[in-house]
Structure 1
Amino acid sequence: MRAVWPDTEVTEVETVAGSPRRTRLLEVAYRVVMRRAPVLYGVAYDVLRRRPRVAAVFQRLGAPATARALRPVLRRHAPDLVVCTYPVTSGGLALLRRRGELTARTVAVVTDAAVHPFWVWPDVDETWTMLDAAADAVRELAPDAAVRVVPPAVDPRFTPAPPPAREVGHPGLTVLVTGGSLAFGRLDAVVDAVLAAGDGVRAVVLCGRHEALRQALAARRDPRVRALGWTDAVPAEMAAADVVVTTGGGMIASEALAVGRPLLFVTPVRGHGRACAAALAAAGLALVCPRPADATRVVADLLADPARREGLAAAARGFSGRDLDGELAALARRTV
């Protein structure tokens, strides 16, 4: 936004639940559940996704607290436009809009490929999705919603990159493996499955904040594995990879597509991971490997078939090459 609207004051508010305390509580609860009881998270996600009326009850219960926390922030800044990238916060904005307390134009940006009912708030002015199928899902839940299909916004460092140069003595594949910032899923098993595809395969593993995983992989002393902790070099690592493997989806999937890399979901985590994987696979933008053995087979196929790799890369480039700047310019015209 700052690049497209140079004369505009843009303020970022870093919160997911409306207040620092609730934000921290939500972060801890999410991490614990995903580590200790991922099945519970997946069941809850799927039940609410399939029963939007039940989801609506929880939406109504949560929105007032978020609205109370957002009210002083909005009064302080008096914005003309509010763009929200988290569904819980969008709920607070929607409630304030419905009550007439917020006159600014509001946009809810769905940052995942799949739409959950928690993303849908009819009282916001616009809902942005990245896929046509996701837009259709929003309209099913809220027939009067104003929905636009817009390319996802990613860090500008994630730009289309040429295929990585082949190193002397390494004609194979470099596979970037990630489970998000917290390295969700059995990444050790995923790495084993990737390496089993052939001697020419190497794995670069983004362990994020999962230091125990990084140490365990480093202790193997396998020259084919490079395990990284928390790093700001993800754009460069992704550009240097031939294939991106993820267990979670979300932003990492959008970033891989922005760079133009074939995207594989391997044993995607329950809930949003599986939903994102299914949505991108249906759009022809990813391959899904439900079991580690499937990953071994698919990576071996990609190693042997450069044309297939290029087909996936071309689909990624086509998806990410849409005009986000044009959409932002149009949003500015709708706002003033």
Structure 2
Amino acid sequence: MTPTTILMLSASAGTGHTRAAEALRVHAAMAGGELEAVHLDVLQFVTPLLRAIYTDVYNLLVGRAPGLWSRLYRATDRARPRGRAHKIRRWAERISSRALLREVAQRRPDLIICTHFLPAEMLSPLCGSGALACPVWVQVTDFDLHQMWVHDHIAGYFAPNDEVAFRLRERGIAAAAIHVTGIPIMPAFSHQFDRRGCARALQIQPQMMTVLLMGGGTGLGSVIQIAERLLALHINFQIIALAGKSASTLAALRELAARHPGRLTPHGYTGHIERLMACSDLVVTKPGGLTTAESLAMGLPMIVIAPIPGQEEHNANYLLERGVALKAFDMVTLEYRIRYLMGHPAKLEDMRSKARALGRPEAARAVLDTVMAKLHA
């Protein structure tokens, strides 16, 4: 039997969109030859100028001018979809993405799943004209819905929760085309981990209260500064601190760990974050859509820090409203939140229970089951 070819299209503007697409690809690869899945980053098939706008300019705005980014986010969300500004933007994207359209045509997929609004926007006119015959689906990757995710001629939408599904309906999407599945994450997040075994592998104490530190932010400083401040607290807990891909940050964390033996365990980039989460009681993190979905799947309470205006602010609000996270605005607030949770274990357990209830570790499988059922209906 000829396998069904699925094309996952993401955009490396931030890591969440690519991680969701990769999660779908990995789940599809587990189907035993029934599915042939390919993941493409669309920004590798556009002009250098468009790629720079979606990566360098975006990173500059959220890092150096978050207030400006916030205004831009709101303005583009409120603008009429068929207004002049959006028409000009879509025209520029269309002439800058001819290589992508050629690549899609050459691969001749049976269906396409977009985990970023950009490829969905590029393919929508082709679906409408009949130039692209296969169905195109859209997976929303934050607990928020911006206008730029919503397009004509899309086969269906996958929403992370009921609120986003409601907002899709308010934007004119038919209820039958909306499926509440969650955000796709890797298969490992559905496993049951033995905390003691994971802790032994990481060479940390399994019984000690553990905080997973996944970055710094405005008002708090770097991950190094946060770890140093927390280590100065006279509380019996240990820290797992992530340096990402920064060699200098990892080196600085190792120096700090040497001064606090048994209290701090630094890690660089890891493809097994689920094992670190399995050893942790609390995570301090920015509220990105994928990190949020992964933490919920692991039943891990959060203290959210430095949310990017727009989508991450909405993610943070969702977590706060559901009682699975607290928010720290600065270092003093972070210290207070940690002291409070350490002193109120019942509160921490309540957050953990609520996080487990919200987690959707099987989201990717639900997405694939839905698109396949529709394809063969």
What TM-score, normalized to structure 2?
A: 0.76
CA deviation after TM superposition for structure 1 residue 36, in Å: 3.0
In 2, Cα distance between the equivalents of 1:294 and 1:56? 43
Match of 1:151 among 182, 198, 221: 182
Matched, 1:257 2:296: yes
SS state of the match for residue 295, structure 1?
helix
What code does the residue aligned with 2:347 have?
Answer: R
CA deviation after TM superposition for structure 1 residue 72, in Å: 0.9
Matched, 1:176 2:186: no
What code does the residue aligned with 1:207 have?
Answer: A
Residue 276 (structure 1) aligns with: 315
CA deviation after TM superposition for structure 1 residue 74, in Å: 1.9
In 2, Cα distance between the equivalents of 1:198 and 1:94? 57
Residue 10 (structure 1) aligns with: 37
In 1, Cα distance between the equivalents of 2:125 and 2:233? 51
Matched, 1:40 2:68: yes
In 2, Cα distance between the equivalents of 1:128 and 1:312? 26
| Structure 1: gaps spanning 5 or more residues | none
Identity of aligned residues (%): 23
Residue 134 (structure 1) aligns with: 164
Question: Is the CA contact 2:322–2:354 (under 8 Å) kept in the aligned structure 1?
Answer: no
What does the per-residue CA deviation read over 1:160-209, in whole Å, with 9 as the maximum and x for residues that have no partner? 54684489988542111224xxx654334544565466422322222213
Aligned length: 332
What code does the residue aligned with 2:210 have?
Answer: T
Query: Would the alpha carbon gap of residues 128 and 284 (structure 1) be closer, same or farther in structure 2, given more than 3 Å must change?
Result: farther
What does the per-residue CA deviation read over 1:286-318, in whole Å, with 9 as the maximum and x for residues that have no partner? 332333333222222322233322222222222
Question: Is the CA contact 2:143–2:311 (under 8 Å) kept in the aligned structure 1?
Answer: no
Residue 241 (structure 1) aligns with: 280
Matched, 1:330 2:358: no
In 1, Cα distance between the equivalents of 2:276 and 2:371? 33
- 1:19-98 aligned at under 5 Å gives the runs 19=46, 21=48, 22-23=50-51, 26-49=54-77, 51-53=78-80, 58-60=85-87, 61-62=89-90, 63-65=93-95, 68-98=98-128
Question: Is the CA contact 1:238–1:259 (under 8 Å) kept in the aligned structure 2?
Answer: yes
In 2, Cα distance between the equivalents of 1:199 and 1:74? 55
What code does the residue aligned with 1:32 have?
Answer: L
Matched, 1:203 2:243: no
CA deviation after TM superposition for structure 1 residue 18, in Å: 4.5
Question: Is the CA contact 1:205–1:227 (under 8 Å) kept in the aligned structure 2?
Answer: yes
| Structure 2: gaps spanning 5 or more residues | 1-27
In 2, Cα distance between the equivalents of 1:113 and 1:258? 15
Residue 3 (structure 2) aligns with: none
Question: Is the CA contact 1:83–1:109 (under 8 Å) kept in the aligned structure 2?
Answer: yes
Question: Is the CA contact 1:208–1:228 (under 8 Å) kept in the aligned structure 2?
Answer: yes
Query: Would the alpha carbon gap of residues 323 and 35 (structure 1) be closer, same or farther in structure 2, given more than 3 Å must change?
Result: closer
In 2, Cα distance between the equivalents of 1:81 and 1:34? 33
In 1, Cα distance between the equivalents of 2:96 and 2:129? 14
CA deviation after TM superposition for structure 1 residue 276, in Å: 1.4
Matched, 1:111 2:141: yes
Question: Is the CA contact 1:18–1:65 (under 8 Å) kept in the aligned structure 2?
Answer: no
What code does the residue aligned with 2:316 have?
Answer: A
Question: Is the CA contact 1:107–1:126 (under 8 Å) kept in the aligned structure 2?
Answer: yes
Question: Is the CA contact 1:247–1:267 (under 8 Å) kept in the aligned structure 2?
Answer: yes
What does the per-residue CA deviation read over 1:4-34, in whole Å, with 9 as the maximum and x for residues that have no partner? 4741222221224752734355323333333
Question: Is the CA contact 1:15–1:23 (under 8 Å) kept in the aligned structure 2?
Answer: no
Query: Would the alpha carbon gap of residues 65 and 163 (structure 1) be closer, same or farther in structure 2, given more than 3 Å must change?
Result: farther
What does the per-residue CA deviation read over 1:228-282, in whole Å, with 9 as the maximum and x for residues that have no partner? 3222232221221111111242211111112221122123233332221112323
| CA root-mean-square deviation | 3.1
